[in-house]
Amino acid sequence: MDFIQIAKKAKQASLEIAHLDAEVKNTALNTIANELEIYKNEIFEANNKDLEDAKKLVEAGKLGKSTFNRLKLDDNKMRDMIQGVRDIANLEDPVGKVLLKRELDKELILTKVSCPIGVLGIIFEARPDVISQISSLAIKSSNAVILKGGKESKNTNTKIMEIINKALNKVHDFPQNVVQQVFSHEDIAKMLKCDEYINLIIPRGGNKLVQFIKENTKIPVLGHASGICHIFVDKNADIDIASRVIVDAKTQYPSACNAVETLLIHSDFSQKEELLASLQIEEIKLVSNPESWDMEYGDKILSYKFVHSIDEAIDHINKFGSGHTDCIITSDKENAELFMDKVDSAGVYWNVSTRFADGFRYGFGAEVGISTNKTHARGPVGLEGLTIYKYKLVGNGDVVDDYAKGIKSFHHQDI
Amino acid sequence: MDFIQIAKKAKQASLEIAHLDAEVKNTALNTIANELEIYKNEIFEANNKDLEDAKKLVEAGKLGKSTFNRLKLDDNKMRDMIQGVRDIANLEDPVGKVLLKRELDKELILTKVSCPIGVLGIIFEARPDVISQISSLAIKSSNAVILKGGKESKNTNTKIMEIINKALNKVHDFPQNVVQQVFSHEDIAKMLKCDEYINLIIPRGGNKLVQFIKENTKIPVLGHASGICHIFVDKNADIDIASRVIVDAKTQYPSACNAVETLLIHSDFSQKEELLASLQIEEIKLVSNPESWDMEYGDKILSYKFVHSIDEAIDHINKFGSGHTDCIITSDKENAELFMDKVDSAGVYWNVSTRFADGFRYGFGAEVGISTNKTHARGPVGLEGLTIYKYKLVGNGDVVDDYAKGIKSFHHQDI
């Protein structure tokens, strides 16, 4: 089918799912979870086909080992994937929340109500578990979604999508075409141009993918192209806290976007040599003169430099950081507050590992991703980031002319 | 000065104003108001120069009469302009609001705090009063701003900007370069490309300007390109309410974006002929077969058609509307709710004139504009739309590894 037809169907589906009862959406999610459970062996079979093809590519040096690992579904990943769908069913409905209720004048009532955004376009790489996660988040937030996955997982994706749509067909009152999939590389280009029907693009993948998407669409993009996170060790830092936090932020999962990449140390910190030694013991490779200050290593490598003041640290971070998550280690409350106010990042931390930047850890229950945008949604984004709002105004023949002429006046009372 | 230098200075200013005390910002706004008052005759003089030049253009047929009128500052506009600045000073500070405070675990506290977006780029046409309004909104919300006004009002704009910056220089602790102006047409192109430093573009002007800007930038744009508002008169409508609301929505200010452009009437509404006659008495020109259903007349002209069901009306609006403001006239509560749920617009109204779609009427105190976006901010946008948020996380050496290993667990308690 032509992409534009798929997009039109998604738009229609988005209008239908927009006002669907929470109960029907939750039934849909639980049905998906049940069917994934029932047909999981079929998914493993499809995944094996993809893995066989991928193995050849790895052997030929055309596919990285880490991509191969992300592609592979095992019992644990399958269990988490199914549980993830049930968890989203159990979250509070993000749609239809009353955000403001105000009497503008007697019997003239304004209500601001959360509602879905419309049609989401998702572009992701080799992780097939993304399909059920993103589809579930879209359904829960009453958005339609078009997914484009990596070609390496085509068999797995197709099977999972088939099971999801078979499940949705069984649910009474659930609209058609809420969850659709496209396959070809050309579909990405078409999706990025389709601002008439697609309201938000969410890329899930490496920096290059995200950067490419941000460069090539007028549609709002929710995500982050890079994660250059900093830790600044202040003059009055506790060395145990500093060492413990840096080791966690660098080694607990080095390829994560919230791992630390640059360490800034106040030149007056008296235990700086011990601190650096403690990091080397943990097999962190220290680079004192990196080629550039915006390197995202994704490995146990850490750039570092000495700074002469907290202001120099803040300036460095605002200049070279990616606005993701940055931390100060200090015993000085005033400096901590200065740092958290002046560093312009989605997450500003005090004596805490940058690895906490995550929707689950923040208690959002599920996560679309982490945004470094300065509009709409910032930091870890849960269901709320997939909603917007509309204003309902109810009266009884009220006209603006009465207010323009001074016959009536507003009293603006929140109720 | 080169645009990129101006943009860099704005970025630096945005970092400095981000954490400025509310008191300093309000002093700045009141100082601006005072100085505008003191030097208003200089502004009138500058405006007269612009008006002389504009008069020649009008006589040569190169400038519309309505643009000329918008360009002209009189005593009333000046008074409103100065009062507008004082009103913004009196509004609640939108920055530093605690939007969420959550204990993730014992002594590990997450706080979500509102903060400014950064640098705003404003592109507006011939209304010089926009400068003080937008500058005040930017200052109040702790954003830096770069303004590009129409060349017709260059003398007036330059004088107003001079007075604003002279006022800001007198305010202790107020950073440099928060409010800057550019003049040339080439600066628009440079501004639209400057996504490294500019975080949000707000166009204030006609459809063509807004459409051009939306087509030519990757920076988020807040605004609306068109306002195709509908009124649907249901089978069970009260004819007096219908007539009163339509007349207000079409004639109270026909060139406003929230004026009605299309009337849909249920074919079973028994008083349809009387309704149409009542509109013609008010000198509304009715067009039963318009060239297209997305005409924005900006005049006392109204497209209309008969529909056979509420669903047909909803489908028409979702297809041809601009997502601005749409209204149902009915005595049937169920239909009203169906309409308000299913119409995908920023404002969905019941028995009320579409002209109410306005930040002042909603009680926001001031308005940046009306947005038909589906992300960030929708409908009339006040100060809140000029903010985003950051997450502050405070702990005592907390690391993710403890949670990954099950040594500790989150309890996610809002406090």
The partner residue sitting opposite B245, judged by closest CB among A352, A399, A404, is: A399
Beta strand spans in B173-307 (E): 179-182, 200-204, 229-233, 260-266, 285-287, 301-307
A141 with A193, same domain: the answer is yes
- How many angstroms separate the CA atoms of B199 and B120, rounded? 6
Contact B204, B233 (CB under 8 A): no
Contact A267, A308 (CB under 8 A): yes
Mutate to test the interface with A, among B8, B215, B356 (most CBs of A within 10 A): B356
Residue of B nearest to A411 (CA): B363
- Establish if A411 belongs to a structural domain: no
Model confidence band, residue B291 (pLDDT cutoffs 50, 70, 90): confident
A215 with A233, same domain: the answer is no
Angle between helices A75-90 and A22-38 (to 10 degrees): 170
CA proximity to B198, closest of B157, B150, B144: B144
- How many angstroms separate the CA atoms of B394 and B396, rounded? 7
Residue of B nearest to A363 (CA): B412
A372 with A315, same domain: the answer is no
Residue of B nearest to A336 (CA): B394
- How many angstroms separate the CA atoms of B70 and B93, rounded? 31
- Domain of residue A136, residue span: 3-219+368-390
pLDDT at residue B232 is higher than 90: yes
- Establish if A398 belongs to a structural domain: no
pLDDT score of B365: 87
Model confidence band, residue B231 (pLDDT cutoffs 50, 70, 90): very high
Contact A111, A392 (CB under 8 A): yes
Contact A357, A325 (CB under 8 A): yes
- Establish if A56 belongs to a structural domain: yes
Pairing of strands A200-204, A229-233: unpaired
CA proximity to A348, closest of A330, A360, A365: A330
One DSSP character per residue, A18-68 reads TT--HHHHHHHHHHHHHHHHHTHHHHHHHHHHHHHHHHHHHHTTSS-HHHH
**What proportion of chain B, given as a percentage, has pLDDT over 90?**
88
Q: What integer best gives the mean pLDDT of chain B?
A: 95
- Establish if B199 belongs to a structural domain: yes
| Per-residue DSSP letter, B395 | E
- Establish if B403 belongs to a structural domain: no
B301 with B198, same domain: the answer is no
Q: If you count residue pairs, one on A and one on B, with CB atoms under 8 Å apart, how many are there?
A: 219
- How many angstroms separate the CA atoms of B369 and B388, rounded? 17
Q: Which helix (DSSP H) or strand (DSSP E) does residue B240 occupy?
A: helix B239-251
A42 with A149, same domain: the answer is yes
Pairing of strands B347-352, B325-329: parallel
Residues 6+ apart with CB under 8 A from B405: none
pLDDT at residue B206 is higher than 90: no
Which CATH number characterizes residue B294's domain? 3.40.309.10
pLDDT score of B261: 97
CA proximity to A87, closest of A33, A36, A21, A130: A33
- Establish if A208 belongs to a structural domain: yes
**CA angle, corner A195, sides to A193 and A198, nearest 5?**
110
The better pLDDT of the pair B343, B128 is held by B343
| Cα end-to-end distance, chain A, whole Å | 50
- How many angstroms separate the CA atoms of B68 and B221, rounded? 27
- Establish if B233 belongs to a structural domain: yes
Chain B closest-CA separation from residue A59 CA (Å):
33
Contacts of A391 in chain B (CB under 8 A): 346-348, 357, 362, 379-380
- How many angstroms separate the CA atoms of B286 and A194, rounded? 35
The partner residue sitting opposite B353, judged by closest CB among A378, A394, A398, is: A398
B192 with B52, same domain: the answer is yes
Q: Name the CA radius of gyration of chain A, rounded.
A: 25
- How many angstroms separate the CA atoms of B231 and B216, rounded? 33
pLDDT at residue B387 is higher than 80: yes
Contact B339, B310 (CB under 8 A): yes
- Establish if A415 belongs to a structural domain: no
pLDDT at residue B1 is higher than 80: no
The partner residue sitting opposite A397, judged by closest CB among B104, B240, B403, is: B240
- Judge residue B319's burial from the number of C-beta atoms within 10 Å of its C-beta, 0-12 exposed, 13-18 middle, 19 or more buried: exposed
- How many angstroms separate the CA atoms of B348 and A395, rounded? 12
CB contact under 8 A, B378 and A388: yes
B144 with B258, same domain: the answer is no
Q: CA quadruple B141, B142, B146, B151: dihedral positive or negative?
A: positive
- Residue A57 CB coordination number (10 Å): 14
| Per-residue DSSP letter, B93 | P
Question: CA neighbours within 13 Å on the CB side: how many for B186?
Answer: 4
**Could you read off the pLDDT of B101-114 as tens digits, one per residue?**
999 999 999 999 99
**Could you read off the pLDDT of B52-86 as tens digits, one per residue?**
999 999 999 888 888 888 899 999 999 999 999 99
pLDDT score of B65: 84
CA proximity to A92, closest of A392, A390, A389, A387: A387
B169 with B271, same domain: the answer is no
pLDDT score of B73: 93
CB contact under 8 A, B353 and A117: no
- How many angstroms separate the CA atoms of B366 and A82, rounded? 48
B91 with B115, same domain: the answer is yes
Chain A closest-CA separation from residue B199 CA (Å):
7
Pairing of strands A200-204, A119-124: parallel
Per-residue pLDDT of chain A (415 residues; tens, 9 = 90+): 799 999 999 999 999 999 999 999 999 999 999 999 999 999 999 999 999 999 999 999 988 888 888 899 999 999 999 999 999 999 999 999 999 999 999 999 999 999 999 999 999 987 888 899 999 999 999 999 999 998 889 999 999 999 999 999 999 999 999 999 998 889 999 999 999 999 999 998 888 888 899 889 999 999 888 899 999 999 999 999 999 999 999 999 998 999 999 999 999 999 999 999 999 999 999 999 888 898 899 899 999 999 999 999 999 999 999 999 999 999 999 999 999 999 999 999 999 999 999 999 999 988 899 999 999 999 999 999 999 999 999 999 999 999 999 999 999 999 9
- How many angstroms separate the CA atoms of B364 and B381, rounded? 8
Contacts of A346 in chain B (CB under 8 A): 390-391
Q: Which amino acid is at A111?
A: T
A145 with A179, same domain: the answer is yes
A104 with A179, same domain: the answer is yes
Mutate to test the interface with A, among B221, B398, B402, B408 (most CBs of A within 10 A): B398
Collapsing DSSP states into helix, strand and coil, what is residue B233? strand
Collapsing DSSP states into helix, strand and coil, what is residue A150? coil
Counting the structural domains of chain B, the total is 2
- Helices (H), ranges, B91-153: 129-140
A23 with A121, same domain: the answer is yes
Contacts of A18 in chain B (CB under 8 A): 341-342, 344
Which CATH number characterizes residue B29's domain? 3.40.605.10
Helices (H) and strands (E) in chain A, counts: 14, 16
Chain B closest-CA separation from residue A363 CA (Å):
6
The partner residue sitting opposite A396, judged by closest CB among B351, B357, B400, is: B351
CB contact under 8 A, A110 and B375: no
Query: Does the predicted interface ipTM exceed a cut of 0.90?
Result: yes
CB contact under 8 A, B376 and A375: yes
Two tokens, residue A180: 């659709």
CB contact under 8 A, B397 and A252: no
CB contact under 8 A, B393 and A215: no
CA proximity to B372, closest of B380, B364, B382: B380
CB contact under 8 A, A397 and B218: no
CB contact under 8 A, B18 and A342: yes
Unique residue bearing structure tokens 């909803």: B314
pLDDT score of A226: 86
- How many angstroms separate the CA atoms of A154 and A147, rounded? 12
Residue of A nearest to B214 (CA): A218
- How many angstroms separate the CA atoms of A94 and A13, rounded? 18
Q: Average pLDDT in the B246-267 region? A: 96
Q: Average pLDDT in the B120-139 region? A: 92
Collapsing DSSP states into helix, strand and coil, what is residue A322? coil
**What proportion of chain B, given as a percentage, has pLDDT over 70?**
100
Beta strand spans in B38-161 (E): 98-105, 108-116, 119-124, 144-148
